[in-house]
Amino acid sequence: MSNYRLTLAAEMDLADILEYGEAHFGTSVVLEFYEGLLNVFPKIVNNPAQLSRID
């Protein structure tokens, strides 16, 4: 199991994204999106080189 911690800035960004998503797409869609993110975060932690860096 991967351990990771979001920074405060990342948590705030995620909250903003979820708030926007709920307002524009509905609760069920945003919950599905959030669940998908939770499934992807450990994969990123375990293999960060699989993604391109965007500065």
Structure tokens at 53: 């860096």
Helices (H), the chain: 8-25, 27-46
Spatial separation of the C-alpha atoms in residues 51 and 8, rounded to whole Å:
22
Question: Amino acid letter at 8?
Answer: L
Q: Identify the band that residue 4 occupies on the pLDDT scale cut at 50, 70 and 90.
A: confident
Q: Identify the band that residue 24 occupies on the pLDDT scale cut at 50, 70 and 90.
A: very high
Higher pLDDT, 45 or 13: 13
- Cα torsion through 36, 37, 39, 41, rounded to 10: 160
pTM of the entire predicted model: 0.75
